[in-house]
Amino acid sequence: MTAAFQNYHARMQRVLDYIDRHLDEDLDLDTLAGVAAYSKFHFHRHFTAVFGVSVHRYIQLAVMKRASYQLAYRDAQITGIAMDAGYEAPDAFARAFRQRFGQSPSAFRSSPDWETWFSAFEPLDNARSKIMQNFTNDDVTIRDVPTTRVAILEHRGDPATLGATIQRFIAWRKAAGLNPKTNPTFNVWYSERRPASPADYSMDLCVGTDQPIDAHGEQIKPGEIPGGRCAVLRVVGNTHNLEPAALYLYREWLPASGEEARDFPIYCQRLSFFPEVPETEAVAELFLPLK
């Protein structure tokens, strides 16, 4: 990657980071052009050319993504969510939300149509993937980790329905009193992020706990994440898609390191969560178990 391209890359990344951190503000073209250090007359064309969506649509999608997370995974009042999304009246927010997802905010909260949601945010996901995180060997550490006892909720099948499994997992954690601040959150992947057949997608949602498990009617089972040596890569921002970080570990770091992977899947620990923090500030650590 040339120095000029790296500079261009960094300028566009600054814009995405700025948008994520200032969703509650008036994100006008002049301001964003200044963040990118581009002429305001050309910035919007640069943005569309790089990300495949206009600045305005990108911001709309980012705002609605945060709102949908607050509806599905948090207990915030709909009126407050509407105001956070920049709508003075809940009715206006409801109309915009229904237009985007085919459901009212209250209907989405009670029974989300996750496949429609998944499709609606594909342009945002694609846009974010255009700016790839650049990792180096210096970003990877080798750590001896202890065995962690966990409670597991399995997700098997189409990743478009993962949101429903996450909802069940969060509801069960609340019922069990396992707060993310006191009990660590892990994801263990048994398949790639987008397998050829969506039915083959397979991952476990896990929470660390040494206590006896009360399933509260949910399909929760006990298990453990085995201890041992792991290559650890810390990812900040865009933690909903850890595939690029995983591919870096497998394609570049592992062959150059002389290490050999252990017989346990790659997994992550989630240290901070969107929407509590802007997406650009979410943190996860990716663990590649080593022999």
For residues 163 and 155, is the Cβ–Cβ distance under 8 A? no
Q: Is 152 left (phi over 0), alpha (psi -120 to 50) or beta?
A: beta
- What is the architecture of the domain spanning 137-289? Alpha-Beta Barrel (3.20)
Q: Which of 163, 201, 184 is nearest to 72 (CA)?
A: 163
CA pair distance 283, 279, nearest whole angstrom: 9
For residue 190, what pLDDT is reported?
A: 95
Cβ-Cβ contacts under 8 Å for 158 (sequence gap 6 or more): 115, 198, 199, 201
Strand partners of residue 189: 203
pLDDT tens for the chain, residues 1 to 291 = 567 777 777 888 899 999 999 998 889 999 999 999 988 888 999 899 889 999 999 999 999 999 999 999 998 899 999 999 999 889 999 999 999 999 999 999 999 999 899 899 999 988 888 876 789 999 999 999 999 999 999 999 999 899 999 999 999 999 999 999 999 999 999 998 888 899 999 999 999 999 999 888 899 999 999 999 999 999 998 898 899 999 999 999 999 999 999 999 999 999 999 989 998 899 999 999 999
CA pair distance 101, 177, nearest whole angstrom: 32
In the three-class reduction of DSSP (H, G, I as helix; E, B as strand; rest coil), residue 184 is classed as coil
For residue 132, what pLDDT is reported?
A: 66
CA pair distance 237, 278, nearest whole angstrom: 8
Q: pTM for this structure?
A: 0.87
User: What superfamily would CATH give domain 3-125?
Assistant: Homeodomain-like (1.10.10.60)
For the chain, the structural domain boundaries read: 3-125, 137-289
Percentages of the chain per state (helix, strand, coil), in multiples of 5? 50, 20, 30
Radius of gyration of the chain (CA): 20
CA pair distance 91, 93, nearest whole angstrom: 5
> Can you read off the two tokens belonging to residue 167?
């909802």
